[in-house]
């Protein structure tokens, strides 16, 4: 039965997110299958002109639907399946009313022409999304910055494929998360075309524009390359000198790298923290000092390609599945490369967590604390405790099968608990309840 239309042709649930942490981001009623973005960007004037074609499938009858798009980008025209339609662009939301309802299960295309001066989305985590550098652009969208540069269904569980065409002045190098399909030079400008054919969450799409040198990051089965500024070349060669070994170790522990290539970008500006995107990680110049001071962050960002990017959380409650495993990867690399063992790291961070107020349940930390260091460290400690409980012979097959079975899909804490139980000779409910569901810190077990 078709539900009755609400006010102004509304479809129940069509403008509401299913993410309890960020209900204002993301939209109900449909799933996106593919984004085709054709963009022209002027670096000096910070002017973006865009045409987005969003292919989606209706999950219910739709008399209207919404997309996320930052208010500073002005929408000129919207068409659904080639027909001009009514639309309304209010803060953060593009509301679209097709000239005829879209039936349940139907595939439809939305074409949006838009433009303006892009900038980051401001919120509780600062400025997120499209950000101008001193001479270029950096896009880091976790968790809610994707609408700063394209119209989207901005929730992590709605993964889609992408084709991104971006034209800029020829003096700049453009890197977009995806595989480079073509590069065409014209008078004074170059058009770069990138394709991302693995399902990708909008927040994991990134654009990097700068005066970069492209260099090989490491040789090996996986293509590993880097975009760096000329000034960073010497320090970068040392700081990332073990990247091939890191890739080999993580593939041995977690299974094959899930994408065709991995790209590291080192910007000319300083960044508070490195950021991951699909098949890419972005570091600031302050993370390259010629002393490998930040090598653990190199490992952390690479580990996110398995935990966070290929396996993406269904919603932000489950963020420990990203950050706990990426943090634990740091400890695993340390032990494998001759540094302190995982037991030593676990003991150190258990003592640190014990000194903090016990106020976070890792499996549902709350939106204000989803990036709290306790989620990262205690999440890693939960992984360590699981390893101690199931034993070495079961733990790494457990991880590799978790990665393989959920490749390019979304994951939840409940799903991981069920998966882990298959590899354990003893019950795990008490372990997960203690480490994930309750704020009180359990005693630390030792991996033997």
The reply to whether 323 sits in an annotated binding site is: yes
Average pLDDT, the chain: 94
Exposed / middle / buried, residue 412 (Cβ in 10 Å: 0-12, 13-18, 19+)? middle
Task: Tell me the CATH number at 76.
Answer: 2.60.40.1730
Which helix (H) or strand (E) is 122 found in, with range?
Answer: strand 121-123
6 — pLDDT class (breaks 50, 70, 90): very low
| Residue 304 annotated in ligand binding | yes
Question: What are the pLDDT digits (tens) for 307-325?
Answer: 999 999 999 999 999 999 9
| Tens-place pLDDT, residues 44-102 | 999 999 999 999 999 999 999 999 999 999 999 999 999 999 999 998 999 999 999 99
Instruction: Please give the pLDDT value at position 14.
Output: 58
Q: Which of 111, 295, 301, 330 is catalytic?
A: 301
Range of the domain at 237: 213-299
What is the average per-residue pLDDT within 123-147?
94
First CA to last CA distance, the chain: 59
Distance CA 425, CA 333 (A): 27
Q: Which residues lie closer than 8 Å to 2 by C-beta, 6 or more apart?
A: 61
pLDDT for position 7: 30
Q: Are residues 163 and 73 in the same domain?
A: yes
- What is d(CA 110, CA 169) in angstroms, rounded to the nearest whole number? 29
Degrees, nearest 5: CA angle 213-216-219: 180
Nearest to 379 by CA among 405, 401, 353, 357: 353
Same domain, 387 and 294: no
Look at residue 127 and tell me if it is in a domain. yes
Enumerate long-range contacts of 192-195, CB under 8 Å, 24 or more apart.
192/165, 192/166, 192/167, 192/168, 193/163, 193/164, 193/165, 193/166, 194/162, 194/163, 194/164, 194/166, 195/161, 195/162, 195/163, 195/164
Best CA proximity match to 431, nearest among 443, 423, 419: 443
- The reply to whether 277 and 147 lie within a common domain is no
Read off the pLDDT band of 302 (50, 70, 90).
Answer: very high
Q: Looking at the structure, tell me whether residues 75 and 47 fall in a common domain.
A: yes
Query: What confidence category does residue 19 fall into, taking pLDDT thresholds of 50, 70 and 90?
Result: confident
**Residue showing tokens 């960007």:** 41
Q: Are residues 161 and 179 in the same domain?
A: yes
| Final residue before a domain boundary, out of 188, 205, 222 | 205
Kindly state whether residues 290 and 360 are assigned to the same domain: no
Query: Which residues are 181's β-sheet partners?
Result: none
> 446 by DSSP, 3-state: which?
coil
- Report the candidate in 202, 225, 357, 214 with the shortest Cα–Cα distance to residue 280: 225
User: Of 101, 110, 53, nearest to 79 (Cα)?
Assistant: 110
- Residue 123 has what pLDDT? 86
174 and 108 co-located in one domain: yes
Dump pLDDT digits (tens) for 333-377.
Answer: 999 999 999 999 999 999 999 999 999 999 999 999 999 999 999
pLDDT at 434 over 60: yes
Rounded to an integer, the average pLDDT of 23-51 is: 97
In a domain? residue 444:
no
Asked if 363 contacts 437 with a C-beta cutoff of 8 angstroms, the reply is yes
pLDDT score, position 4 = 29
Q: Is-contact 295 242, C-beta < 8 A? A: yes
Residue 304 lies in a domain: no
Q: Report the CATH number that the domain containing residue 231 is assigned in CATH.
A: 3.30.2010.30
- HSE, side-chain direction, 13 A CA sphere, residue 5: 14
pLDDT-above-90 percentage for the chain: 93
Overall number of domains in the chain: 3
Q: What is the pTM of this model?
A: 0.95
Residue of 41, 257, 328, 376 with catalytic role: 376
* Known catalytic membership, residue 114: no
The SS3 of residue 258 is: coil
Tokens 């390359």 label which residue?
A: 225
Residue 20: which of 307, 366, 362 has the closest Cα?
A: 366
The continuous run of DSSP H or E covering 70 comes out as none
* 115 lies in the same domain as 142: yes
Q: Does 445 reside within a domain? A: no
Residue 446 domain flag: no
Calculate what percentage of the chain has a pLDDT beyond 70: 96
Q: Band the pLDDT of 24: cuts 50, 70, 90.
A: very high
Q: Do 345 and 290 sit in the same domain of this protein?
A: no
Between 122 and 403, where is the model more confident? Answer: 403
Task: Clarify whether residues 249 and 129 are in a common domain.
Answer: no
Q: Let me know if 330 is a catalytic residue.
A: no
pLDDT at 16: 64
Burial of residue 91, with CB atoms counted within 10 A of its CB: 0-12 exposed, 13-18 middle, 19 or more buried: exposed
Domain identity same for 141 and 278: no
Last residue of a domain, one of 205, 235, 251: 205
Q: Span 130-150, mean pLDDT? A: 96
Give pLDDT, residue 15. Answer: 59
Same domain, 120 and 188: yes
Answer whether residue 18 shows pLDDT above 80: no
Give pLDDT tens digits for 204-257.
999 999 999 999 999 999 999 999 999 999 999 999 999 999 999 999 999 999
Q: What is the pLDDT of residue 13?
A: 53
Domain boundary (150, 180, 205) is at 205
CATH number of the domain to which 425 belongs:
1.10.390.10
């Amino acid at each position: 039965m078709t539900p009755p239309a609400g006010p102004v042709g509304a479809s129940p649930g069509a403008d509401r997110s299913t993410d309890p942490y960020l209900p204002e981001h993301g939209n109900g009623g449909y799933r996106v299958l593919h984004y085709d973005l054709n963009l022209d960007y002027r670096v000096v004037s910070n002017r973006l002109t865009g045409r987005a074609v969003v292919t989606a499938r209706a999950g219910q009858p739709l008399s209207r639907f919404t997309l996320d798009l930052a208010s500073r980008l002005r929408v000129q025209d919207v068409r659904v399946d080639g027909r001009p339609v009514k639309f309304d662009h209010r803060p953060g939301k593009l509301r679209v009313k097709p000239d005829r309802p879209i039936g349940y299960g139907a595939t439809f295309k939305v074409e949006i022409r838009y433009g303006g001066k892009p900038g980051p989305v401001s919120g509780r985590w600062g400025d997120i999304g499209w950000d101008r550098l001193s001479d270029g652009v950096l896009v880091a969208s976790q968790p809610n910055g994707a609408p700063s540069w394209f119209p989207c269904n901005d929730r992590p569980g709605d993964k889609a494929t992408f084709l991104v065409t971006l034209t800029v002045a020829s003096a700049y190098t453009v890197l977009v998360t995806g595989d480079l399909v073509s590069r065409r030079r014209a008078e004074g400008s170059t058009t770069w075309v990138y394709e991302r054919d693995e399902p990708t969450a909008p927040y994991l799409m990134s654009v990097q524009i700068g005066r970069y040198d492209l260099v090989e990051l490491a040789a090996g089965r996986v293509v590993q390359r880097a975009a760096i500024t000329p000034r960073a070349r010497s320090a970068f060669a040392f700081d990332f000198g073990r990247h091939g070994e890191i890739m080999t170790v993580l593939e041995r522990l977690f299974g094959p790298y899930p994408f065709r290539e991995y790209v590291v970008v080192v910007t000319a500006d300083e960044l508070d923290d490195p950021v991951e995107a699909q098949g890419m990680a972005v570091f600031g110049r302050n993370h390259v000092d010629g002393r490998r001071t930040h090598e653990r962050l190199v490992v952390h960002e690479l580990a996110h390609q398995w935990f966070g990017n290929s396996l993406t959380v269904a919603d932000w409650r489950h963020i420990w599945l990203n950050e706990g495993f990426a943090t634990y990867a740091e400890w695993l690399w340390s032990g494998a490369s001759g540094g302190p063992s995982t037991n030593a790291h676990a003991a150190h961070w258990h003592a640190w967590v014990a000194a903090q107020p016990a106020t976070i349940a890792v499996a549902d930390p709350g939106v204000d604390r989803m990036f709290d260091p306790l989620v990262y460290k205690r999440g890693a400690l939960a992984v360590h405790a699981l390893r101690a409980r199931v034993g070495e012979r079961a733990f790494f097959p457990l991880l590799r099968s978790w990665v393989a079975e959920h490749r390019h899909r979304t994951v939840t804490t409940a799903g991981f608990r069920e998966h882990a139980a298959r590899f354990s000779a003893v019950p795990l409910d008490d372990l997960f309840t203690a480490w994930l569901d309750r704020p009180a810190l359990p005693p630390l077990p030792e991996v033997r």
